[in-house]
Structure 1
Amino acid sequence: MLAACALAYALSVGSVVLGHPNGLTVSADPSAPTLPLWQVFLPPVVGVALTLLLPPRRTSQPAVVGEARALRHGTAFLVGLAVLTIGLGLSPLSDVDFVLSKALLFMVLPALALRFVWRGGVQVLRAGGAWRWWAPLAVVVVWAWLSQAAPWVPAADFSGHDLTFLLLGAAVTALTAGVGEELFYRRWLQTRLEVWLGPAAGIALTCVLFGLMHFGTHGSTDLARDAALIVAVQGTSGLFLGLLWWRYRNIAMNILAHLIMNGWAVAAYLLTR
Protein backbone atom coordinates (compact mmCIF):
# COMPACT_ATOMS: atom_id res chain seq x y z
CA MET A 1 0.00 0.00 0.00
CA LEU A 2 2.81 2.38 0.87
CA ALA A 3 4.59 1.68 -2.43
CA ALA A 4 1.37 2.14 -4.44
CA CYS A 5 0.54 5.45 -2.76
CA ALA A 6 4.12 6.68 -3.11
CA LEU A 7 4.11 5.82 -6.81
CA ALA A 8 0.77 7.60 -7.37
CA TYR A 9 2.07 10.65 -5.53
CA ALA A 10 5.39 10.72 -7.40
CA LEU A 11 3.66 10.43 -10.78
CA SER A 12 1.19 13.16 -9.82
CA VAL A 13 3.87 15.59 -8.68
CA GLY A 14 5.97 14.85 -11.76
CA SER A 15 3.06 15.51 -14.11
CA VAL A 16 2.23 18.76 -12.31
CA VAL A 17 5.82 20.01 -12.44
CA LEU A 18 6.16 19.15 -16.13
CA GLY A 19 2.69 20.29 -17.14
CA HIS A 20 2.48 23.53 -15.16
CA PRO A 21 5.88 25.22 -15.31
CA ASN A 22 4.28 28.66 -14.91
CA GLY A 23 2.46 27.81 -11.69
CA LEU A 24 -0.91 26.69 -10.37
CA THR A 25 -4.17 28.06 -9.07
CA VAL A 26 -4.65 25.93 -5.97
CA SER A 27 -7.84 27.47 -4.60
CA ALA A 28 -11.30 26.72 -5.95
CA ASP A 29 -12.24 30.39 -5.63
CA PRO A 30 -12.54 32.01 -9.09
CA SER A 31 -10.54 35.06 -7.98
CA ALA A 32 -7.61 33.02 -6.65
CA PRO A 33 -4.20 33.98 -8.12
CA THR A 34 -1.79 31.67 -9.94
CA LEU A 35 1.14 30.76 -7.71
CA PRO A 36 4.62 29.61 -8.75
CA LEU A 37 5.27 25.95 -7.99
CA TRP A 38 7.82 26.65 -5.27
CA GLN A 39 5.22 28.73 -3.43
CA VAL A 40 2.70 25.90 -3.67
CA PHE A 41 4.96 23.17 -2.32
CA LEU A 42 7.41 24.98 -0.01
CA PRO A 43 5.06 25.62 2.96
CA PRO A 44 3.83 22.01 3.41
CA VAL A 45 7.34 20.62 2.82
CA VAL A 46 8.73 22.94 5.51
CA GLY A 47 5.80 21.97 7.73
CA VAL A 48 6.61 18.28 7.26
CA ALA A 49 10.28 18.85 8.09
CA LEU A 50 9.52 20.85 11.23
CA THR A 51 6.97 18.27 12.36
CA LEU A 52 9.60 15.55 12.16
CA LEU A 53 12.23 17.70 13.91
CA LEU A 54 10.26 19.24 16.80
CA PRO A 55 10.82 18.27 19.51
CA PRO A 56 14.29 16.87 18.76
CA ARG A 57 13.87 13.97 21.19
CA ARG A 58 12.13 10.86 19.94
CA THR A 59 8.49 10.58 20.96
CA SER A 60 6.00 7.81 20.27
CA GLN A 61 2.22 7.95 20.51
CA PRO A 62 1.10 4.81 18.68
CA ALA A 63 -2.43 3.86 17.76
CA VAL A 64 -3.29 0.38 19.03
CA VAL A 65 -6.18 -2.05 18.77
CA GLY A 66 -8.98 -1.53 21.23
CA GLU A 67 -11.91 -3.82 20.51
CA ALA A 68 -11.04 -5.83 17.40
CA ARG A 69 -14.54 -6.14 15.93
CA ALA A 70 -15.25 -2.45 16.39
CA LEU A 71 -11.92 -1.61 14.77
CA ARG A 72 -12.58 -3.87 11.77
CA HIS A 73 -16.10 -2.69 11.05
CA GLY A 74 -15.44 0.94 11.94
CA THR A 75 -12.48 1.13 9.58
CA ALA A 76 -14.44 -0.45 6.72
CA PHE A 77 -17.29 2.00 7.35
CA LEU A 78 -14.97 5.03 7.27
CA VAL A 79 -13.16 3.88 4.12
CA GLY A 80 -16.55 3.36 2.49
CA LEU A 81 -17.58 6.91 3.38
CA ALA A 82 -14.30 8.25 1.98
CA VAL A 83 -14.83 6.40 -1.32
CA LEU A 84 -18.47 7.53 -1.45
CA THR A 85 -17.37 11.15 -1.02
CA ILE A 86 -14.98 10.79 -3.98
CA GLY A 87 -17.86 9.44 -6.02
CA LEU A 88 -20.08 12.34 -5.03
CA GLY A 89 -17.32 14.73 -6.08
CA LEU A 90 -17.42 13.20 -9.56
CA SER A 91 -21.22 13.48 -9.74
CA PRO A 92 -23.13 16.57 -10.94
CA LEU A 93 -24.01 17.78 -7.45
CA SER A 94 -24.36 21.49 -6.80
CA ASP A 95 -21.86 23.15 -4.45
CA VAL A 96 -24.53 23.43 -1.76
CA ASP A 97 -25.48 19.75 -2.03
CA PHE A 98 -21.83 18.68 -1.93
CA VAL A 99 -21.16 20.73 1.21
CA LEU A 100 -24.26 19.30 2.90
CA SER A 101 -23.17 15.81 1.89
CA LYS A 102 -19.74 16.42 3.46
CA ALA A 103 -21.35 17.51 6.72
CA LEU A 104 -23.38 14.30 6.79
CA LEU A 105 -20.59 11.94 5.70
CA PHE A 106 -17.69 13.51 7.60
CA MET A 107 -19.35 14.52 10.85
CA VAL A 108 -22.84 13.22 11.55
CA LEU A 109 -22.65 9.59 10.40
CA PRO A 110 -19.10 8.83 11.66
CA ALA A 111 -19.75 10.47 15.03
CA LEU A 112 -22.91 8.42 15.56
CA ALA A 113 -21.43 5.16 14.28
CA LEU A 114 -18.19 5.38 16.27
CA ARG A 115 -19.97 6.54 19.40
CA PHE A 116 -22.89 4.10 19.50
CA VAL A 117 -22.15 1.18 17.12
CA TRP A 118 -18.38 0.57 16.90
CA ARG A 119 -17.10 2.32 19.98
CA GLY A 120 -13.60 1.66 21.33
CA GLY A 121 -12.07 0.14 18.22
CA VAL A 122 -8.80 2.02 18.52
CA GLN A 123 -6.82 3.71 21.28
CA VAL A 124 -4.02 6.28 21.05
CA LEU A 125 -1.30 5.91 23.68
CA ARG A 126 -0.66 9.60 24.25
CA ALA A 127 2.51 10.85 25.88
CA GLY A 128 2.47 13.65 28.41
CA GLY A 129 4.30 16.94 28.32
CA ALA A 130 3.92 20.53 27.22
CA TRP A 131 5.70 19.70 23.94
CA ARG A 132 2.41 18.37 22.56
CA TRP A 133 1.25 22.01 22.49
CA TRP A 134 4.26 24.23 21.95
CA ALA A 135 5.86 22.09 19.22
CA PRO A 136 2.81 21.83 16.91
CA LEU A 137 1.99 25.50 17.56
CA ALA A 138 5.49 26.48 16.42
CA VAL A 139 5.11 24.30 13.32
CA VAL A 140 1.71 25.79 12.45
CA VAL A 141 2.95 29.37 12.94
CA VAL A 142 5.92 28.91 10.59
CA TRP A 143 3.83 27.05 8.03
CA ALA A 144 1.07 29.68 8.21
CA TRP A 145 3.52 32.52 7.65
CA LEU A 146 5.06 30.80 4.63
CA SER A 147 1.73 29.86 3.07
CA GLN A 148 -0.44 32.85 3.96
CA ALA A 149 1.41 35.89 5.32
CA ALA A 150 4.87 36.02 3.72
CA PRO A 151 5.66 39.11 1.60
CA TRP A 152 5.52 37.12 -1.64
CA VAL A 153 1.98 35.80 -1.01
CA PRO A 154 -0.50 37.86 -3.09
CA ALA A 155 -3.50 39.30 -1.28
CA ALA A 156 -6.84 37.76 -2.19
CA ASP A 157 -9.43 39.98 -3.84
CA PHE A 158 -13.04 39.17 -2.98
CA SER A 159 -14.44 42.54 -4.05
CA GLY A 160 -16.75 40.86 -6.56
CA HIS A 161 -18.46 38.77 -3.89
CA ASP A 162 -21.45 39.66 -1.77
CA LEU A 163 -20.30 40.16 1.83
CA THR A 164 -23.08 38.05 3.34
CA PHE A 165 -22.35 35.20 0.93
CA LEU A 166 -18.63 35.47 1.69
CA LEU A 167 -19.17 35.29 5.45
CA LEU A 168 -21.63 32.41 5.14
CA GLY A 169 -19.29 30.50 2.84
CA ALA A 170 -16.36 31.02 5.20
CA ALA A 171 -18.38 29.80 8.18
CA VAL A 172 -19.64 26.69 6.39
CA THR A 173 -16.15 25.89 5.09
CA ALA A 174 -14.68 26.31 8.58
CA LEU A 175 -17.18 23.79 9.94
CA THR A 176 -17.18 21.16 7.18
CA ALA A 177 -13.53 21.41 6.14
CA GLY A 178 -11.62 22.86 9.08
CA VAL A 179 -13.39 20.75 11.68
CA GLY A 180 -15.12 17.98 9.73
CA GLU A 181 -12.25 16.92 7.48
CA GLU A 182 -9.75 16.86 10.33
CA LEU A 183 -11.99 14.76 12.52
CA PHE A 184 -12.83 12.38 9.68
CA TYR A 185 -9.52 11.99 7.86
CA ARG A 186 -7.06 12.37 10.71
CA ARG A 187 -8.73 11.59 14.05
CA TRP A 188 -10.99 8.78 12.86
CA LEU A 189 -9.73 7.34 9.56
CA GLN A 190 -5.95 7.76 9.68
CA THR A 191 -5.75 6.52 13.26
CA ARG A 192 -7.45 3.27 12.30
CA LEU A 193 -5.47 2.84 9.08
CA GLU A 194 -2.26 3.25 11.09
CA VAL A 195 -3.27 0.20 13.12
CA TRP A 196 -4.08 -1.89 10.03
CA LEU A 197 -1.24 -0.81 7.73
CA GLY A 198 1.39 0.77 9.96
CA PRO A 199 1.90 4.53 10.39
CA ALA A 200 3.63 5.21 7.05
CA ALA A 201 1.13 3.35 4.86
CA GLY A 202 -1.82 4.54 6.93
CA ILE A 203 -0.81 8.17 6.49
CA ALA A 204 -0.09 7.65 2.79
CA LEU A 205 -3.46 6.06 2.02
CA THR A 206 -5.26 8.77 3.99
CA CYS A 207 -3.41 11.43 1.97
CA VAL A 208 -4.54 9.91 -1.32
CA LEU A 209 -8.16 9.59 -0.16
CA PHE A 210 -8.05 13.14 1.22
CA GLY A 211 -6.68 14.47 -2.05
CA LEU A 212 -9.21 12.67 -4.24
CA MET A 213 -12.05 14.01 -2.10
CA HIS A 214 -11.33 17.41 -3.67
CA PHE A 215 -12.82 16.35 -7.00
CA GLY A 216 -15.98 17.95 -5.68
CA THR A 217 -14.44 21.43 -5.43
CA HIS A 218 -11.44 21.33 -7.79
CA GLY A 219 -12.60 19.03 -10.56
CA SER A 220 -13.12 19.96 -14.22
CA THR A 221 -13.67 17.78 -17.26
CA ASP A 222 -10.22 16.16 -17.52
CA LEU A 223 -10.32 13.34 -14.97
CA ALA A 224 -6.67 12.27 -15.24
CA ARG A 225 -5.39 15.84 -15.06
CA ASP A 226 -7.62 16.64 -12.09
CA ALA A 227 -6.55 13.51 -10.23
CA ALA A 228 -2.86 14.35 -10.67
CA LEU A 229 -3.39 17.94 -9.53
CA ILE A 230 -5.34 17.16 -6.39
CA VAL A 231 -3.14 14.25 -5.34
CA ALA A 232 -0.06 16.41 -5.81
CA VAL A 233 -1.36 19.62 -4.21
CA GLN A 234 -4.04 18.62 -1.73
CA GLY A 235 -2.23 15.34 -1.10
CA THR A 236 0.89 17.26 -0.06
CA SER A 237 -1.17 19.36 2.33
CA GLY A 238 -2.72 16.12 3.58
CA LEU A 239 0.75 14.70 4.22
CA PHE A 240 1.61 17.71 6.38
CA LEU A 241 -1.67 17.43 8.30
CA GLY A 242 -1.35 13.66 8.63
CA LEU A 243 2.16 13.86 10.08
CA LEU A 244 1.03 16.68 12.37
CA TRP A 245 -1.63 14.36 13.80
CA TRP A 246 0.67 11.32 13.99
CA ARG A 247 3.47 13.17 15.75
CA TYR A 248 1.53 15.27 18.26
CA ARG A 249 -1.94 13.64 18.53
CA ASN A 250 -3.36 17.11 19.10
CA ILE A 251 -6.44 17.48 16.93
CA ALA A 252 -6.90 21.11 18.01
CA MET A 253 -3.65 21.99 16.20
CA ASN A 254 -4.79 20.14 13.09
CA ILE A 255 -8.07 22.03 13.10
CA LEU A 256 -6.22 25.32 13.61
CA ALA A 257 -3.96 24.62 10.62
CA HIS A 258 -6.92 23.67 8.42
CA LEU A 259 -8.88 26.75 9.46
CA ILE A 260 -5.90 28.92 8.52
CA MET A 261 -5.51 27.06 5.23
CA ASN A 262 -9.08 27.78 4.17
CA GLY A 263 -9.92 30.98 6.00
CA TRP A 264 -6.86 33.22 6.20
CA ALA A 265 -7.41 34.90 2.84
CA VAL A 266 -11.02 35.76 3.65
CA ALA A 267 -10.15 37.02 7.13
CA ALA A 268 -7.30 39.17 5.78
CA TYR A 269 -9.56 40.64 3.11
CA LEU A 270 -12.31 41.49 5.60
CA LEU A 271 -9.84 43.12 8.00
CA THR A 272 -8.15 45.26 5.36
CA ARG A 273 -11.01 46.11 2.97
Structure 2
Amino acid sequence: MRNKRGYLGSVVLIAGLAAIAISAVALLLTSNGEVRYSADHSDTVPFWHRWVPALVGIGLIRLMPVGASLLAAPEPLVRPTKTRRIEALVLLAAAVLFAVGLRFAGGGEPAHTLLKLPLLLGVPAVLFWVVRRLNDVPVNGDRGGLTGRWRCWGPVVPVAAWLVLAYASPLAVPAGDLPDDDAVSLIAIIVVGFAVNSLLEEVFYRRWLQTRWEALLGAWPGIVLASLLWAVWHVGIQGTGFLAADLASVVVGQGVQGLFLGYLWSRYRMMWPILTVHGAINAATIVIALL
Protein backbone atom coordinates (compact mmCIF):
# COMPACT_ATOMS: atom_id res chain seq x y z
CA MET A 1 0.00 0.00 0.00
CA ARG A 2 2.84 2.35 0.85
CA ASN A 3 4.53 1.68 -2.52
CA LYS A 4 1.24 2.21 -4.35
CA ARG A 5 0.71 5.48 -2.48
CA GLY A 6 4.22 6.61 -3.34
CA TYR A 7 3.81 5.70 -7.03
CA LEU A 8 0.47 7.50 -7.40
CA GLY A 9 1.81 10.49 -5.51
CA SER A 10 4.83 10.69 -7.81
CA VAL A 11 2.62 10.49 -10.90
CA VAL A 12 0.37 13.31 -9.65
CA LEU A 13 3.33 15.46 -8.64
CA ILE A 14 5.26 15.03 -11.89
CA ALA A 15 2.17 15.43 -14.07
CA GLY A 16 1.06 18.54 -12.20
CA LEU A 17 4.43 20.27 -12.32
CA ALA A 18 4.79 19.28 -15.98
CA ALA A 19 1.41 20.87 -16.73
CA ILE A 20 2.57 24.13 -15.16
CA ALA A 21 5.88 24.09 -17.04
CA ILE A 22 4.29 23.23 -20.41
CA SER A 23 1.64 25.91 -19.91
CA ALA A 24 4.31 28.49 -19.13
CA VAL A 25 6.24 27.66 -22.30
CA ALA A 26 3.04 27.78 -24.35
CA LEU A 27 2.20 31.22 -22.98
CA LEU A 28 5.68 32.51 -23.75
CA LEU A 29 5.33 31.33 -27.34
CA THR A 30 1.77 32.58 -27.91
CA SER A 31 1.17 35.63 -25.71
CA ASN A 32 4.58 36.79 -24.43
CA GLY A 33 3.82 35.20 -21.08
CA GLU A 34 0.87 37.47 -20.28
CA VAL A 35 -1.88 36.23 -17.92
CA ARG A 36 -5.05 37.81 -16.60
CA TYR A 37 -5.01 38.61 -12.90
CA SER A 38 -8.65 39.57 -12.35
CA ALA A 39 -12.09 38.55 -13.56
CA ASP A 40 -13.21 42.19 -13.42
CA HIS A 41 -11.30 43.21 -16.56
CA SER A 42 -9.12 41.79 -19.31
CA ASP A 43 -5.84 43.45 -18.29
CA THR A 44 -2.79 41.17 -18.13
CA VAL A 45 0.65 41.03 -16.52
CA PRO A 46 3.67 38.82 -17.29
CA PHE A 47 3.24 35.56 -15.41
CA TRP A 48 6.59 35.92 -13.66
CA HIS A 49 5.13 38.94 -11.85
CA ARG A 50 2.84 36.43 -10.14
CA TRP A 51 5.45 33.68 -9.85
CA VAL A 52 8.17 35.63 -8.06
CA PRO A 53 6.11 36.53 -4.95
CA ALA A 54 4.75 32.97 -4.73
CA LEU A 55 8.14 31.29 -5.18
CA VAL A 56 9.83 33.66 -2.72
CA GLY A 57 7.05 32.88 -0.25
CA ILE A 58 7.55 29.14 -0.75
CA GLY A 59 11.29 29.54 -0.22
CA LEU A 60 10.79 31.53 2.98
CA ILE A 61 8.38 28.92 4.35
CA ARG A 62 11.03 26.30 3.65
CA LEU A 63 13.69 28.38 5.45
CA MET A 64 11.64 28.85 8.60
CA PRO A 65 12.77 26.69 11.56
CA VAL A 66 11.36 23.21 11.11
CA GLY A 67 9.56 21.60 14.01
CA ALA A 68 7.39 18.52 13.79
CA SER A 69 6.52 19.17 10.18
CA LEU A 70 3.90 17.22 8.29
CA LEU A 71 6.03 17.49 5.16
CA ALA A 72 8.87 15.65 6.90
CA ALA A 73 6.66 12.80 8.10
CA PRO A 74 7.28 9.51 6.21
CA GLU A 75 3.68 8.35 6.79
CA PRO A 76 0.38 10.24 6.77
CA LEU A 77 -0.57 11.41 10.26
CA VAL A 78 -3.99 9.85 9.79
CA ARG A 79 -3.93 6.56 7.92
CA PRO A 80 -6.39 6.49 5.01
CA THR A 81 -9.45 4.33 5.46
CA LYS A 82 -12.06 3.35 2.90
CA THR A 83 -14.32 6.13 4.17
CA ARG A 84 -11.57 8.72 3.88
CA ARG A 85 -10.81 7.63 0.34
CA ILE A 86 -14.48 8.12 -0.46
CA GLU A 87 -14.30 11.59 1.12
CA ALA A 88 -11.33 12.48 -1.06
CA LEU A 89 -13.02 11.22 -4.22
CA VAL A 90 -16.33 12.97 -3.49
CA LEU A 91 -14.56 16.28 -2.85
CA LEU A 92 -12.52 15.79 -6.02
CA ALA A 93 -15.71 15.18 -8.00
CA ALA A 94 -17.32 18.31 -6.53
CA ALA A 95 -14.28 20.39 -7.55
CA VAL A 96 -14.34 19.00 -11.10
CA LEU A 97 -18.10 19.55 -11.43
CA PHE A 98 -17.71 23.13 -10.25
CA ALA A 99 -15.02 23.88 -12.83
CA VAL A 100 -16.85 22.16 -15.69
CA GLY A 101 -20.27 23.50 -14.74
CA LEU A 102 -19.06 27.08 -14.47
CA ARG A 103 -17.32 26.82 -17.82
CA PHE A 104 -20.48 25.65 -19.59
CA ALA A 105 -22.67 28.08 -17.66
CA GLY A 106 -20.66 30.94 -19.10
CA GLY A 107 -19.22 32.17 -15.79
CA GLY A 108 -20.31 35.30 -14.03
CA GLU A 109 -23.25 35.72 -11.71
CA PRO A 110 -25.56 34.19 -10.70
CA ALA A 111 -24.05 30.97 -12.11
CA HIS A 112 -20.87 31.36 -10.08
CA THR A 113 -22.62 31.53 -6.71
CA LEU A 114 -25.40 29.10 -7.63
CA LEU A 115 -22.80 26.45 -8.47
CA LYS A 116 -20.24 27.27 -5.79
CA LEU A 117 -22.52 27.11 -2.75
CA PRO A 118 -24.07 23.68 -3.39
CA LEU A 119 -20.90 22.04 -4.75
CA LEU A 120 -18.22 23.49 -2.48
CA LEU A 121 -20.34 23.85 0.66
CA GLY A 122 -23.46 21.70 0.29
CA VAL A 123 -21.75 18.54 -0.93
CA PRO A 124 -19.11 18.56 1.85
CA ALA A 125 -21.77 19.30 4.48
CA VAL A 126 -23.80 16.25 3.44
CA LEU A 127 -20.66 14.13 3.10
CA PHE A 128 -19.37 14.95 6.57
CA TRP A 129 -22.82 14.42 8.09
CA VAL A 130 -22.92 10.93 6.58
CA VAL A 131 -19.39 10.23 7.80
CA ARG A 132 -20.32 11.23 11.35
CA ARG A 133 -23.38 9.02 11.17
CA LEU A 134 -21.06 6.14 10.28
CA ASN A 135 -18.95 6.98 13.35
CA ASP A 136 -15.81 7.40 11.25
CA VAL A 137 -13.79 10.47 12.18
CA PRO A 138 -12.73 12.52 9.11
CA VAL A 139 -9.16 13.65 8.56
CA ASN A 140 -8.52 16.50 11.00
CA GLY A 141 -7.32 19.54 9.08
CA ASP A 142 -5.66 20.95 12.22
CA ARG A 143 -3.30 18.03 12.75
CA GLY A 144 0.25 18.17 11.53
CA GLY A 145 2.27 21.20 10.53
CA LEU A 146 4.73 22.93 12.82
CA THR A 147 4.28 23.00 16.57
CA GLY A 148 4.97 25.59 19.24
CA ARG A 149 5.51 29.28 18.64
CA TRP A 150 6.67 28.78 15.04
CA ARG A 151 3.24 27.47 14.16
CA CYS A 152 1.83 30.86 15.19
CA TRP A 153 4.56 33.22 14.02
CA GLY A 154 6.25 31.30 11.23
CA PRO A 155 3.76 32.38 8.53
CA VAL A 156 4.28 36.10 9.24
CA VAL A 157 7.53 36.36 7.27
CA PRO A 158 6.46 34.58 4.04
CA VAL A 159 3.02 36.22 4.04
CA ALA A 160 4.49 39.70 4.60
CA ALA A 161 7.12 39.15 1.90
CA TRP A 162 4.44 37.96 -0.53
CA LEU A 163 2.29 41.02 0.18
CA VAL A 164 5.17 43.43 -0.38
CA LEU A 165 6.31 41.77 -3.62
CA ALA A 166 2.80 41.30 -4.99
CA TYR A 167 1.41 44.76 -4.18
CA ALA A 168 4.20 47.18 -3.22
CA SER A 169 7.04 46.42 -5.62
CA PRO A 170 7.76 46.78 -9.36
CA LEU A 171 6.01 43.40 -9.74
CA ALA A 172 2.75 44.74 -8.29
CA VAL A 173 -0.43 44.49 -10.32
CA PRO A 174 -2.03 47.85 -11.25
CA ALA A 175 -4.67 49.27 -8.95
CA GLY A 176 -8.16 48.32 -9.99
CA ASP A 177 -10.97 50.63 -10.96
CA LEU A 178 -13.36 51.42 -8.14
CA PRO A 179 -16.96 50.27 -8.59
CA ASP A 180 -19.56 53.03 -8.80
CA ASP A 181 -20.82 52.39 -5.28
CA ASP A 182 -20.85 54.33 -2.03
CA ALA A 183 -18.45 53.43 0.76
CA VAL A 184 -20.93 51.23 2.62
CA SER A 185 -21.81 49.25 -0.50
CA LEU A 186 -18.13 48.88 -1.39
CA ILE A 187 -17.32 47.51 2.07
CA ALA A 188 -20.25 45.11 1.79
CA ILE A 189 -18.96 43.92 -1.60
CA ILE A 190 -15.53 43.25 -0.11
CA VAL A 191 -16.93 41.43 2.95
CA VAL A 192 -19.36 39.25 0.98
CA GLY A 193 -16.68 38.55 -1.63
CA PHE A 194 -14.29 37.49 1.12
CA ALA A 195 -16.83 35.08 2.60
CA VAL A 196 -17.99 33.53 -0.68
CA ASN A 197 -14.61 33.47 -2.38
CA SER A 198 -11.60 33.58 -0.04
CA LEU A 199 -13.11 31.83 2.99
CA LEU A 200 -15.19 29.17 1.22
CA GLU A 201 -12.49 28.38 -1.36
CA GLU A 202 -9.71 28.04 1.20
CA VAL A 203 -11.84 25.85 3.47
CA PHE A 204 -12.84 23.62 0.56
CA TYR A 205 -9.65 23.43 -1.52
CA ARG A 206 -7.04 23.52 1.23
CA ARG A 207 -8.61 22.47 4.57
CA TRP A 208 -10.88 19.77 3.18
CA LEU A 209 -9.65 18.66 -0.26
CA GLN A 210 -5.89 19.09 0.08
CA THR A 211 -5.74 17.60 3.58
CA ARG A 212 -7.41 14.41 2.44
CA TRP A 213 -5.31 14.00 -0.69
CA GLU A 214 -2.15 14.66 1.32
CA ALA A 215 -3.10 11.69 3.49
CA LEU A 216 -3.63 9.54 0.39
CA LEU A 217 -0.76 10.66 -1.85
CA GLY A 218 1.73 12.61 0.24
CA ALA A 219 2.13 16.29 1.02
CA TRP A 220 3.38 17.81 -2.24
CA PRO A 221 1.19 15.69 -4.53
CA GLY A 222 -1.79 16.79 -2.43
CA ILE A 223 -0.70 20.43 -2.69
CA VAL A 224 -0.25 20.24 -6.47
CA LEU A 225 -3.57 18.46 -7.03
CA ALA A 226 -5.55 20.95 -4.93
CA SER A 227 -3.74 23.90 -6.54
CA LEU A 228 -4.59 22.82 -10.08
CA LEU A 229 -8.20 22.05 -9.20
CA TRP A 230 -8.46 25.50 -7.63
CA ALA A 231 -6.85 27.05 -10.69
CA VAL A 232 -8.93 25.47 -13.44
CA TRP A 233 -12.32 26.70 -12.25
CA HIS A 234 -11.09 30.27 -12.96
CA VAL A 235 -11.47 29.49 -16.67
CA GLY A 236 -15.19 29.99 -16.12
CA ILE A 237 -14.75 33.61 -15.00
CA GLN A 238 -11.55 34.63 -16.79
CA GLY A 239 -11.73 32.61 -20.01
CA THR A 240 -11.69 34.13 -23.48
CA GLY A 241 -13.37 31.19 -25.21
CA PHE A 242 -10.17 29.43 -26.35
CA LEU A 243 -10.04 26.55 -23.87
CA ALA A 244 -6.39 25.51 -24.34
CA ALA A 245 -5.13 29.09 -23.95
CA ASP A 246 -7.45 29.71 -21.00
CA LEU A 247 -6.29 26.55 -19.22
CA ALA A 248 -2.65 27.48 -19.76
CA SER A 249 -3.29 30.96 -18.33
CA VAL A 250 -4.99 29.83 -15.12
CA VAL A 251 -2.60 26.91 -14.55
CA VAL A 252 0.35 29.30 -14.78
CA GLY A 253 -1.28 32.13 -12.85
CA GLN A 254 -3.57 30.72 -10.18
CA GLY A 255 -1.83 27.34 -10.18
CA VAL A 256 1.47 28.68 -8.87
CA GLN A 257 -0.29 30.96 -6.40
CA GLY A 258 -2.09 27.83 -5.24
CA LEU A 259 1.24 26.14 -4.53
CA PHE A 260 2.11 28.97 -2.14
CA LEU A 261 -1.29 28.77 -0.46
CA GLY A 262 -1.10 24.99 -0.27
CA TYR A 263 2.39 25.01 1.23
CA LEU A 264 1.28 27.55 3.85
CA TRP A 265 -1.57 25.24 4.82
CA SER A 266 0.48 22.05 4.74
CA ARG A 267 3.26 23.49 6.87
CA TYR A 268 1.27 25.46 9.46
CA ARG A 269 -2.31 24.09 9.39
CA MET A 270 -3.63 27.57 10.25
CA MET A 271 -6.34 29.45 8.39
CA TRP A 272 -5.26 33.06 8.87
CA PRO A 273 -2.20 32.93 6.55
CA ILE A 274 -4.09 31.47 3.59
CA LEU A 275 -7.10 33.72 4.17
CA THR A 276 -4.82 36.77 4.28
CA VAL A 277 -3.17 35.85 0.99
CA HIS A 278 -6.38 34.84 -0.76
CA GLY A 279 -8.20 37.91 0.54
CA ALA A 280 -5.42 40.10 -0.82
CA ILE A 281 -5.54 38.38 -4.21
CA ASN A 282 -9.24 39.20 -4.49
CA ALA A 283 -9.45 42.65 -2.90
CA ALA A 284 -6.01 44.26 -2.73
CA THR A 285 -6.26 46.12 -6.03
CA ILE A 286 -9.51 47.76 -4.90
CA VAL A 287 -8.02 48.61 -1.50
CA ILE A 288 -4.94 50.09 -3.20
CA ALA A 289 -7.19 52.23 -5.40
CA LEU A 290 -8.88 53.58 -2.25
CA LEU A 291 -5.58 54.73 -0.77
Q: TM-score, normalization: structure 2? A: 0.83
2:139 aligns with one of 117, 122, 125: 122
- Residue 17 of structure 2 corresponds to 6
Alignment-mate amino acid for residue 60 of structure 1: S
Residues 167-217 of structure 1: CA distance to partner in whole angstroms, max 9, x if unpaired?
A: 444233211221011100110001110111111211111111111111221
In 2, Cα distance between the equivalents of 1:126 and 1:79? 23
- Residue 3 of structure 2 corresponds to none
Change over 3 Å in CA distance of 1:64–1:117 after alignment to 2: farther
1:138 aligns with one of 133, 142, 157: 157
- Residue 53 of structure 2 corresponds to 43
Asked whether 1:227 is paired with 2:227, we answer no
The answer as to whether partners of 2:36 and 2:238 remain within 8 angstroms in 1 is no
Work out the number of aligned pairs and report it.
Answer: 268
Residues 39-79 of structure 1: CA distance to partner in whole angstroms, max 9, x if unpaired?
A: 22211111111111112x35413653367233122111101
Asked whether 1:258 is paired with 2:269, we answer no
Alignment-mate amino acid for residue 162 of structure 2: W
Change over 3 Å in CA distance of 1:216–1:171 after alignment to 2: farther
In 1, Cα distance between the equivalents of 2:173 and 2:205? 30
The answer as to whether partners of 1:28 and 1:217 remain within 8 angstroms in 2 is yes
Residues 70-98 of structure 1: CA distance to partner in whole angstroms, max 9, x if unpaired?
A: 31221111011011011112112442221
In 2, Cα distance between the equivalents of 1:20 and 1:161? 32
Q: Pairwise CA RMSD of aligned residues?
A: 2.3
Asked whether 1:162 is paired with 2:176, we answer no
Asked whether 1:95 is paired with 2:114, we answer no
- Residue 241 of structure 1 corresponds to 261
In 2, Cα distance between the equivalents of 1:38 and 1:121? 38
In 1, Cα distance between the equivalents of 2:254 and 2:232? 8
Change over 3 Å in CA distance of 1:68–1:252 after alignment to 2: same
The answer as to whether partners of 2:99 and 2:236 remain within 8 angstroms in 1 is yes
- Residue 34 of structure 2 corresponds to 23
Q: TM-score, normalization: structure 1? A: 0.88
In 2, Cα distance between the equivalents of 1:126 and 1:256? 18
In 1, Cα distance between the equivalents of 2:191 and 2:274? 17
Alignment-mate amino acid for residue 197 of structure 2: A
Change over 3 Å in CA distance of 1:128–1:194 after alignment to 2: same
In 2, Cα distance between the equivalents of 1:154 and 1:210? 21
- Residue 127 of structure 2 corresponds to 113
Q: Which runs of 5+ in 2 are unaligned?
A: 1-11
Local SS of the residue matching 1:65? coil
Moved over 6 A (4+): none
Alignment-mate amino acid for residue 104 of structure 1: P
Indicate the percent of aligned positions where both proteins have the same amino acid: 33
Alignment-mate amino acid for residue 210 of structure 1: W
Question: Shift of residue 152 of structure 1?
Answer: 5.4
Local SS of the residue matching 2:32? coil
In 2, Cα distance between the equivalents of 1:39 and 1:48? 15
Q: Which moved more, 1:163-172 or 1:102-111?
A: 163-172
- Residue 196 of structure 2 corresponds to 176
Question: Shift of residue 154 of structure 1?
Answer: 5.2
Local SS of the residue matching 1:91? helix
